Amino acid sequence: MATELIAGREITVDEEGFFADPSQWSEDMAEELAKAIGIDELTEDHWKVIRFLRKDFEETGETATIRRVSTMTGISTKQLYQLFPKKPAKKMAYIAGLPKPTGCV
Amino acid sequence: MPPIFEEETDRKISIIVSKGTLDWVTAAFVIGNAAVSEGIELHVFFTFYGMDAVIKKKMDHLKVTPVANPSMGMPNLVGVLPGVTAMATAMMKKQMAEQGVPPTKEFIQMVADAGAHLHVCRMTFDMFGLTKDDLYEEVEDVLSASDFLELAEGGQIIFI
């Protein structure tokens, strides 16, 4: 598997660039990951989503889908599309250092 | 930048929803939801019985029937008994909820919030004697078939 230099550390990534090992992620990487996909600034709401995704992944072993994030954090679908434009599910997962979500809804 | 985020897509998908049963409508919105969350422009055109999915009074009461549906494994003669459709519907709703699929109205709202455009068929609208007040508020307009095809031009059309 390929590696990439993120925040000065060697990170193992899958063929699409997602973290292959979520335990290699740490909060200080998020800004750099966000910038890499065109999100220049992480607001408090971005962080609320990222922290929820990390916690949920730890508990369930799966990356939460948009609906789950919205239901559990109270951040509306509309807002999620504004925070992570165009491909919210994949962008959230990418910044949080998680595999892309496998759920359909 | 990882390649999957690189280019903003110019893809466009139009889904024609022609059936008003819970299973078909849900199928349409699972695909529709996937489309919007991939940044794909989405139009949904409701026609004939598919219209039920956006009629306020009906949208949360869509049903699924085992009659003439061999996949459900129930003899047609049993399927016609009173209460069987309600039972099949309740069972499917439960199974879908377990998969994280929201009830119809919430599902349609979610896809609309993600930027989908909802249209209804002019002919069906007139034929059923509907008014705009009968329609769910996220429906943008009542379109003729040719206006819909104009909107769909250059994209992919899925007929459900």
How many Å lie between the alpha carbon of A59 and the closest alpha carbon of chain B? 17
Write a three-state SS string for A5-44: EECCEEEEECCCCCECCHHHCCHHHHHHHHHHCCCCCCCH
> Within the 72-91 window of chain B, which residues sit less than 8 Å (CB to CB) from chain A?
none
Contact B114, B86 (CB under 8 A): no
ipTM of this model? Answer: 0.87
Class of domain B3-159: alpha beta
B9 chain-A contacts, CB cut-off 8 A? 86
Q: What is the pLDDT at residue A4?
A: 83
Contact A15, A22 (CB under 8 A): no
Contact A92, A84 (CB under 8 A): yes
Q: What is the pLDDT at residue B127?
A: 96
Q: What is the pLDDT at residue B9?
A: 76
As given in the structure block, the two tokens for residue B106 are 């919430």
Establish if A35 touches chain B: CB-CB under 8 angstroms. no
- Report CB contact under 8 Å: A86, B110: no
- Would you place residue B7 in the very low, low, confident or very high pLDDT band (cuts 50, 70, 90)? low
Domain boundaries, chain B: 3-159
At CA A50, angle to CA A25 and CA B96, rounded to 5? Answer: 115
Q: What is the pLDDT at residue A39?
A: 93
CA-nearest residue to B109 within chain A is A77
Contact B42, B117 (CB under 8 A): yes
Q: Measure the CA–CA gap between B144 and B119, rounded to whole angstroms.
A: 10
Q: What is the pLDDT at residue B22?
A: 96
Contact B37, B119 (CB under 8 A): no
- Report CB contact under 8 Å: B115, A104: no
What pairing do the DSSP bridges indicate for beta strands B156-159 and B139-143? unpaired
Q: Is A23 tagged catalytic?
A: no
Q: What is the pLDDT at residue B64?
A: 93
Give B126: exposed, middle or buried? Use CB within 10 Å, 0-12, 13-18, 19+. Answer: exposed
Q: What is the pLDDT at residue B2?
A: 74
What is the overall mean pLDDT for chain B?
94
How many Å lie between the alpha carbon of A46 and the closest alpha carbon of chain B? 17
Q: What is the pLDDT at residue B128?
A: 95
The beta-carbon neighbor of A77 closest among B1, B101, B114 is: B114
Q: What is the pLDDT at residue A6?
A: 84
As given in the structure block, the two tokens for residue B92 are 């499917």
- What average pLDDT does the segment B28-49 reach? 96
Contact B21, B62 (CB under 8 A): yes
Give B138: exposed, middle or buried? Use CB within 10 Å, 0-12, 13-18, 19+. Answer: middle
Enumerate residue ranges in chain A where pLDDT < 50.
none
**What residue has token string 């369930």?**
A60
